[in-house]
Amino acid sequence: MSESSLPLLEARDVSKTVRGPEGTLDILADVTLAVHAGESFAIVGASGSGKTTLLGLLAGLDTPTTGSVRLDGHALEAIDEEARADLRRQLVGFVFQSFHLLPALTAEENVMLPLELEGRDDARARAREALTAVGLDTRRRHYPAQLSGGEQQRVAIARAFVHGPRVLFADEPTGNLDQRTGRHVADLLFALNRDHRTTLVLVTHDATLAARCARGVELMEGRIAAPAAIT
């Protein structure tokens, strides 16, 4: 099967319902979408529209109440959490709005983490390469608290692609950054998408950032309102 004919990531009729103090709450309903390998894809919407929940389902961090999510041909709802963890380790990289670096680890050690989980011996060397790629080779021994917000996010990006994932999920990656730094970080993400053909799935409410993606969807109260305004 060719890469273009089968999507790398696919959601079909996905719904997510949670039980709250005031009864059940539908967070997502009937979401269907497909992302192909090497694409950049934006998920946009207002706060509370279900963007982050959708990202979690697509990345295999959670399972849908109904419907199906397939990542590289694997139906995520059909496999257990351990198998999903294996898939994440092999195929997925993450960038978070709040960076989520471990404060007691240096930049280099933070980047080494996914490689250490795989038990790779070349973790340090590859972490250095990744840090060099994001322009932080001189800051590798710094701790997160000693880095600016932009630098921390670049370390997070290095950690996200150091093990060569096929999909990079980014949740509001520029949300905590000023405009200029945010732009640099976004440039970096799109460069990775372009140079390594890493599929980029981006959650944002920043229209400019979303506009840089090849495709996308807009969520409204848990449903796809319309394909995002993508050029």
Partner 1 sequence: MKLLRLALRTLRREWHLPELRTLAASLLLAVVALGVVATLASRVEGGLVASAAELIGGDAGVSAPQALPQPYLDEARQRDLTVTRSAGFPSVAFAGERGQLLDVDATDAAWPLRGALELAAHGVTSAGHGPAPGTMYLDHRAMVALGLAVGDHVQLGGLDLAVAAELVSQPDGGQLVAMAPRALMNLADAQRAGLLGVGSRARHRLLVAGAPAAVRDWLAWAKAQALPQGAELITPAKTQQRMRNAFDRAGSFLRLTALLSALLAGVAIALAAQRYARRKTPEIALLRALGTARTRVFGLLLATLGALALPTLLLGVLVAWGLAEGAWQLAGAAFVHVPTALPLLPALGAAAMGLAVLAGFALPPLARLAEVPPVAVFRASMARRVRRVDVLYLVPALVAVALLWNQSGSAKLAIILAVSLSVVAVLAALLALLLLWFARRIAPGAHPALRLGLAALARRRTLSTVQATALSLGLVALLLLAVVAPALLEGWRRELPPDTPNWFVLNLQDDQRTDFTDRLEKLGAQQLNMLPLAVGKLTAINGTPVDQLHFADPGAARWADRQLRLSWTGTLPPSNKVVAGHWAGATPARAEVSVDTSWRDMFGLKIGDRMRFDVGEGSLEATVASVREVDWSSFRVNFFLLLDPAHAGSLPHTWLASFYLPHGHAQALAEVSRDYGNLSLVDVDALLDRVREIVDQVGGAVRWVLGFSLLAGALVLAAALATSAAERRHEAALLRTLGARRGQLRLAAACEFALLGLIAGLTAALGAFGAGWWLARGVFRLDDFVPPLGPLLGGALLAAVVIMLLGLAGTRKVTRTSPMRLLREG
Q: Which residue has the tokens 């419907």?
A: 67
Rounded to a whole number of angstroms, the distance between the first and last alpha carbons of the chain is 28
Report how many residues bind partner 1 under the rule CB under 8 A: 36
The span from the CA of 105 to the CA of 102, in Å, is: 6
Cβ of residue 84: shortest distance to partner 1, in angstroms?
Answer: 9
Cβ of residue 2: shortest distance to partner 1, in angstroms?
Answer: 27
Picking from 35, 140, 45, 137, the residue whose alpha carbon sits closest to that of residue 91 is: 35
Q: Name which of residues 19 to 48 contact partner 1 (CB under 8 A).
A: none
- Cβ neighbours of residue 187 closer than 8 Å, sequence gap 6 or more: none
129, amino acid identity: E
- Do 153 and 99 form a contact (C-beta atoms < 8 A)? yes
Q: Is 88 in the site for partner 1 (CB under 8 A)?
A: yes
Q: Which CB sits closer to partner 1, 22 or 82?
A: 82
- Cβ neighbours of residue 48 closer than 8 Å, sequence gap 6 or more: none
Give the range of 38-46, 169-177, 186-194, 213-221 binding partner 1 by CB under 8 A.
169-177
Q: Is 16 in the site for partner 1 (CB under 8 A)?
A: no
The span from the CA of 227 to the CA of 94, in Å, is: 24
Token pair recorded at residue 188: 């970096």
Q: Is 3 in the site for partner 1 (CB under 8 A)?
A: no
Q: Name which of residues 90 to 129 contact partner 1 (CB under 8 A).
A: 90, 92, 94, 96-98, 100, 102, 104-105, 109, 113-114, 116-117, 119, 121, 123-124
Q: Is 52 in the site for partner 1 (CB under 8 A)?
A: yes
Which residues of the chain form contacts with partner 1 (CB under 8 A)? Answer: 52, 55-56, 61-62, 81-82, 85-90, 92, 94, 96-98, 100, 102, 104-105, 109, 113-114, 116-117, 119, 121, 123-124, 145, 159, 171-172, 175
